[in-house]
């Protein structure tokens, strides 16, 4: 699992773009702001390939199909 901490005024969309451009395995991810929000300790948090911390909230990225 990888965690991306958003910097300063970086948006969730910008973080997703950065992660997609720089994934060491060439994977592409997607994120739905409403469906993919997760919480420390829940199943989604523990199984996500990449987590994004944006303003102290977490989103679990999913592999794009």
DSSP secondary structure string for all residues of 1-65? -EEEE--TT--HHHHHHHHHHH-TT---EE--TTTSEE-TTSHHHHH-SEEEEETTEEEEEEE--
Per-residue confidence band for 65, with pLDDT thresholds at 50, 70 and 90: confident
Residue 40 Cα to chain centre, angstroms: 13
CA distance linking residue 22 with residue 45, whole number of Å = 21
Mean pLDDT rounded to a whole number for the chain? 95
Q: Does the reported pTM lie above 0.85?
A: yes
CA distance linking residue 53 with residue 38, whole number of Å = 10
Q: Structural domain of residue 9, as residue ranges?
A: 2-63
Residue 61 pLDDT > 90: yes
Q: How many structural domains is the chain composed of?
A: 1
């Amino acid at each position: 699992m990888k965690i991306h901490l958003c910097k300063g005024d970086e948006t969730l969309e910008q973080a997703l773009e950065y992660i997609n451009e720089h994934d060491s395995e060439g994977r592409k991810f997607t994120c739905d702001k409403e469906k993919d929000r997760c919480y420390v300790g829940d199943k989604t948090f523990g199984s996500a390939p990449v987590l994004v911390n944006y303003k102290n909230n977490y989103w679990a990225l999913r592999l794009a199909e």
